[in-house]
Each structure stands twice: as C-alpha cells, then as structure tokens.
Structure 1
Amino acid sequence: MEPNQLNLFPEVKPTPALLTEALVMSADALLKWKSQILDYQQKVRENKPPEQVTLFDIAPNHCLTVM
C-alpha cells in the first residue's frame, strides 16, 4: 500500500495552466452579474422553503390503515 496518494500516478506530471491576457467580461458586466446573484440569493433567503408533497395523491385504502 502506498504511503502517499501522490505516488498512485507517478507518470502524471503537473502542468501550469495557460493564462489568457484578455478578460472575458468587462468590469461593468461582472458587477451587474454579481448584483443579480446577490438579488437572487436574498430573495431565496426571504422566501419560505418549499414543502415536500406527495408525488401521487392516493386516497387511503382500508387495507393500508393500521389498527
């Protein structure tokens, strides 16, 4: 048994991630996106959590009742 998990795959060599120079989105777009996430999260916190309901609304059967 290997004492170190890093030795499980000795032939795999880590490679550095490629960094891009250009940003994918502007600062304004990023701030708008973050604001939308914050608004959504606040609404979720304020709302009552959903209640679990039955998938099938089955009427009770006299054979299923416990005496």
Structure 2
Amino acid sequence: MAINFRLLGLQDDLRHTARQIDHLCQALDGHTRFLCHSVHQDDATAMGEQVQDLRHSADDMREIAQLIRP
C-alpha cells in the first residue's frame, strides 16, 4: 500500500496547528485572568468564550487528523 505523502503532510499540519492553538490558549488564559481582576471583567468573559471556541477548533483539527489515513 502506497503512502500518500500529501495526506500525511496535511495530517501533520493539522496536528501542528492544533498544538499552536493550545499554546495560544494558554497565553490567552493568563490574559483573561488578568482582565478578571481589572475594570475589564466583561472583556474577560468575552475572551474566555473565544478561548473556549479556539480550544474546540483545536480539538476538531485533531479529530480530523485522526481520521486521515495516508
């Protein structure tokens, strides 16, 4: 069975991007905590929701990568 290197590359890219999003979310979590303790608490709530959406996107990318069979 031949390996499809384009699919393998796509799978690697999806996993790599998901890891980058995870790192971004960690940084944004810190910023969100800072906002919680400032006068910008409404912004903290909105940012927390956006970070959660990013985490879901990263999870979706990992699921798609898992389904790819190079």
Structure 1 or 2: larger helix share? Answer: 2
Higher CA-based Rg: 1
Bigger relative contact order, structure 1 or 2 (CA pairs below 8 A, ≥6 apart): 2
Q: TM-score, normalised by structure 2?
A: 0.34
With structure 1 as the length reference, what TM-score do the two structures score? 0.35
